[in-house]
Structure 1
Amino acid sequence: MANLTPRELELLARRLEPAIRRAFEQAIAGVRSQVQLDLLAELLRAGQVDMVLEALGFDAERFSPMAEQVRQAFMAGADVGMKELPVLSLRQQVRGRYNPANETPLLRFGFDMRNRGVEQWLRDNSSRLITGVLDDQRALVRQLLTRGMASGTNPRQTALELVGRVGETGRRAGGVVGLTAQQAQFVANVRQQLASGDPVHMAEYFGRKRRDRRLDGIVTRAIKAGQPVAPADVEKIAARYADRLLALRGEMIARTESITAMNAGREDAFRQQIEAGRLAPENVTGTWSATGDDRTRHSHQAMNNQVRPFGVPFQTPSGALLRFPGDTSLGAGPEEIIGCRCTKHYRVDMVAEVKRGQ
C-alpha cells in the first residue's frame, strides 16, 4: 500500500482541470451564442429573473459535459485509490503473516462505477454544481436589474451588459454572464472608475490584477488629459476584464471540482472494499494533511494530522464535517471547499487484517 504524496495528487488534479474548465467555458459560450437579445430585454424589463435564466438556456443539459468531466476525475481518483489499497497474497492468508517482499499478491479487486454509492455521489455532486451556478446567475441578474432600474438604463443595454456584444469574430464577448454577482460588480466598478473623469478614481483601475495591461495606455492618456475614458474604450476595457474574470471563474471551478471528485473516487475505492467485506472499517484510518503554505486555510492547517477511523468525518474548528477534502455531503459550505488543496492519507492495519483472515 503506497499513498501518493500531496504533490503527486496535486499534479494529477492539475491534469484533470483543463477539461473541466473548457466544459464550463463552452457552456457559457453556448449561452451567449443562442441568446435572443430582444426577448432578453423584454424579460429584463418585466423583471422575470427565472424566465431570463430559462431564455439563456441555463439548465442541467447545458452543463452535462462539465458533469461528465467531473465523472472522469472521479474515475481517475478511484484508480488511484485502488492502487493505494493493500493486496494480501494467498500465502499471507494461510500463514497469517505480512511480508510483502516475499509474497506474490493476488489479483486486485476491480472498482464498480455502477455501484449505487458512486451513482448517488455523481448525481448529488452534479446537482450541487449546477445549482450553484444557477444560484449565482440568479443573483447576478437581480443585481443587474436593480442597478439598471436605479440608473434608468435601457433594458436592451442591460441585456448587452449581461451577454456581451458581438465582436469582430462574430461571437459575443465581454458580458458578465457566467460570473458571480461579486465579479459582475467588479466589472461595473471598472466602468464607473474609467468613466468618472476623476484621476484618483481612474488610477484605482491599475490595482486590478486581472486587467489587460496592454490597454493601460488608454487609461494613462485619459488621466494625463484630465478626461474620462471614451465610452467605446470603457466598454472595450471592461469587456476584456470581464472575460478574464470568467476565465478565473472557470479555473477556480475546475480546480475545486477536480480535487473534490478525485478525492471522492479515492474514498470510494476503500468504501467498496469495506462494504464487500474485504477490509474491516476499524482497520482503516485516514489522516488529514494540510498543504501548509501561505494559501492554506487557517482552519485546515489546524486540522493537520487529524486522524479518523474510516467513516468518521474530520471536523474543522468551526464544526464543519468532511469525510475527505472537498466533501460537501455532510453540509460543509463553500468556505471549506473552494480552492482546497488538502489531502487525505489512508492507512490499513495489515497485522489486524491478516489476523482477521485467519
Structure 2
Amino acid sequence: MTFEELLSTYEPRLAAAFREGVEAIKSGIVLQRVIERLERRDLDGAIEAMILEPEAFSALDIALQEAFNAGGINAVGELPTVRDPEGAKVVFRFGVRNLESEAILRELSSSMVTHITDDQRQGVRYALEQGLMRGANPRQTALDVVGRLSRITGKREGGAIGLTKHQIEYIERARQNLLSGDPDLMKKYLDLTTRDKRFDRTIAKAMREGKPLKADDVQRIIIRLNDNNLRLRGEMVARTETMMALGSARDNAIRQQIAAGKIEAQDVTKIWRSAGDSRVRHTHRALNNTAVPVDGVFISPSGAALRYPGDPRAPINEISGCRCHVTYKVGYADAVGRRFRAATV
C-alpha cells in the first residue's frame, strides 16, 4: 500500500470516528438541564450539563491506533531485501507493542482528544455567550448550541458541538449579516465556501427587496452552515491526526530496526516527498527531494524544524492539512560490506 493509499484509507475512518464522537455527545445531552442552567445565567453549569468528555471520542482513538499500526507496517514493508553475511534474509518487523511505540501512540492520542475537547469547550462557551447577548431565550440558545432534532433522522442537526471558536465566530457573522437586511452584508454569505447553495435564491430575493430574511429561514440556513463546517472540521482533524500517526509510526518503525541491530543509523537517509500538486504549501514544495540523515531534521523556509511530515513537535501551520511523506533510503552496500568484514575478522 502506498502512502497516498494509507491516507485515503485512514482519513475517512478518522473523520467518521470524529463525527461519531460528536453524535455521541449530542445524543447524550438532556436539553432541559442545559436550559435550566442558562435560565440561572450559569454558563459553566450549562457546559458541564453537555458532558463534553474525552471518552466520547473512543472510536477516534481506536482509528488513530489503526492508522499508527498501518504506518509502521508500511515503512518496514518498503525496505528492500537484504541478507546477512551468512546469506540469511534479514526480517524487518514493526512492533506496535514496542515500549517507545506505545509511548508515542499514547502521546498522540492524549494530545488529539485533549485538543478536540478544549476546542469544543471554548467554542460552546462563545456560542452560549453570543446567544444570550443577542437576546435569545435560554431554550433558543441551548438549541442553537446542541442542535435541533430532525423529524426525519431523529438526530440533532446543526449546533455548535464539535466546532472551534473560530468557526462559530464565522457562523455568527453570517447569521448577523443575513438578519441585517443590508444587501452588501447579506452578499457576504454568498461568498462562503461552506454555505448550502440551495438557499442562494432565497437570499438573492431578499437582497433585491432590501429586506432581512425571515428568522425561520435564517435558522435553516445556519443549521446547514453548522453541519458543513462540522464536516470540514472532521476532515481537517482526520487529515492532521492521520498524518501525525503515519509519520510518527514510520519514523519509529525505522528506529526499531536500528535498535534491533538490523540496520545502522549511519546508513539511513530520509528524503522529503511532497504530494506534488498545487495544494502543497510553498514551504513544503521547497523541501521536496531534500535528504537528511535519519537523526537529522528538515528545515522549512519558515524556520521550523521537522523530523518528518506530520511531526507533532512542529508548528501547526506546518502540519495542518499536510499530505507529504518521507521515504527512507538505506545504504545496504556499505552496511553489508561492514558486516561481512566484521564477520571475517
Q: How high is the TM-score relative to the length of structure 1?
A: 0.88
CA offsets, 1:141-160, max 9 Å, x none? Answer: 33224424433433332221
Q: Which amino acid aligns with 1:25?
A: R
Name 1:154's counterpart in structure 2. Answer: 137
Verify: 1:112 aligned to 2:95, yes or no.
Answer: yes
Using the TM superposition, give the Cα deviation of residue 234 of structure 1 relative to its aligned residue in structure 2, in angstroms: 0.4
* Root-mean-square deviation over aligned CA pairs: 2.0
Instruction: Identify the match of residue 205 of structure 2 among 214, 221, 226.
Output: 221
Name 2:196's counterpart in structure 1. Answer: 212
Verify: 1:325 aligned to 2:309, yes or no.
Answer: yes
Q: Distance in 2 between matches of 1:233 and 1:155?
A: 20
Q: Which amino acid aligns with 1:208?
A: L
Matched residue of 1:288: which SS?
strand
Is residue 53–residue 137 contact of structure 1 (8 Å, CA) maintained in 2?
no
Instruction: Identify the match of residue 127 of structure 2 among 135, 144, 155.
Output: 144
Verify: 1:82 aligned to 2:76, yes or no.
Answer: yes
Matched residue of 1:63: which SS?
helix
Name 1:98's counterpart in structure 2. Answer: none
Name 1:340's counterpart in structure 2. Answer: 322
Verify: 1:235 aligned to 2:229, yes or no.
Answer: no
Q: Distance in 2 between matches of 1:22 and 1:249?
A: 11
Q: Which amino acid aligns with 2:253?
A: A
Q: Distance in 2 between matches of 1:47 and 1:293?
A: 50
Using the TM superposition, give the Cα deviation of residue 173 of structure 1 relative to its aligned residue in structure 2, in angstroms: 0.6
CA offsets, 1:4-63, max 9 Å, x none? Answer: 8xxx422321121111111100110111111122322344554444x5454323223211
Using the TM superposition, give the Cα deviation of residue 279 of structure 1 relative to its aligned residue in structure 2, in angstroms: 0.9
Q: How high is the TM-score relative to the length of structure 2?
A: 0.91
Instruction: Identify the match of residue 263 of structure 2 among 279, 283, 297.
Output: 279
Q: Distance in 2 between matches of 1:110 and 1:286?
A: 19
Verify: 1:308 aligned to 2:308, yes or no.
Answer: no
Name 1:101's counterpart in structure 2. Answer: none
Name 1:55's counterpart in structure 2. Answer: 49
Q: Distance in 1 between matches of 2:20 and 2:46?
A: 19
Matched residue of 2:321: which SS?
coil
Q: Distance in 1 between matches of 2:207 and 2:187?
A: 8
Superposed, 1:5-44 pairs within 5 Å as: 8-44=2-38
Verify: 1:265 aligned to 2:246, yes or no.
Answer: no
Using the TM superposition, give the Cα deviation of residue 270 of structure 1 relative to its aligned residue in structure 2, in angstroms: 0.7
CA 1:10–1:125: 2 relative to 1, 3 Å: same
Q: Which amino acid aligns with 1:23?
A: A
CA 1:292–1:12: 2 relative to 1, 3 Å: same
Is residue 267–residue 330 contact of structure 2 (8 Å, CA) maintained in 1?
yes
Name 1:100's counterpart in structure 2. Answer: none
Q: Unpaired runs of 5+ in structure 2?
A: 341-345
Q: Distance in 1 between matches of 2:129 and 2:27?
A: 25
Name 1:250's counterpart in structure 2. Answer: 234
CA offsets, 1:284-321, max 9 Å, x none? Answer: 01122233433222222233333221122222234333
Q: Which amino acid aligns with 2:265?
A: P
Name 1:124's counterpart in structure 2. Answer: 107
Q: Which amino acid aligns with 1:277?
A: G
Q: Percent identity?
A: 40
Matched residue of 1:308: which SS?
strand
Is residue 272–residue 327 contact of structure 2 (8 Å, CA) maintained in 1?
yes
Q: Distance in 2 between matches of 1:38 and 1:27?
A: 21
Matched residue of 2:186: which SS?
helix
Is residue 14–residue 255 contact of structure 1 (8 Å, CA) maintained in 2?
no
Q: Distance in 2 between matches of 1:73 and 1:111?
A: 13
Is residue 284–residue 349 contact of structure 1 (8 Å, CA) maintained in 2?
yes
Matched residue of 2:314: which SS?
coil
Q: Which amino acid aligns with 1:162?
A: V
CA offsets, 1:170-196, max 9 Å, x none? Answer: 221110111111111121112111111
Q: Which amino acid aligns with 1:183?
A: Q
CA offsets, 1:128-153, max 9 Å, x none? Answer: 11111122112213322442443343
Q: Unpaired runs of 5+ in structure 1?
A: 95-103
Name 2:168's counterpart in structure 1. Answer: 184
Q: Distance in 2 between matches of 1:118 and 1:72?
A: 13
Is residue 40–residue 55 contact of structure 1 (8 Å, CA) maintained in 2?
yes
> Which segments of structure 1 move beyond 6 Å, counting only runs of 4 or more?
none
Using the TM superposition, give the Cα deviation of residue 269 of structure 1 relative to its aligned residue in structure 2, in angstroms: 1.6
Using the TM superposition, give the Cα deviation of residue 235 of structure 1 relative to its aligned residue in structure 2, in angstroms: 0.3
Q: Which amino acid aligns with 2:203?
A: V
Matched residue of 1:110: which SS?
coil
CA 1:55–1:356: 2 relative to 1, 3 Å: farther
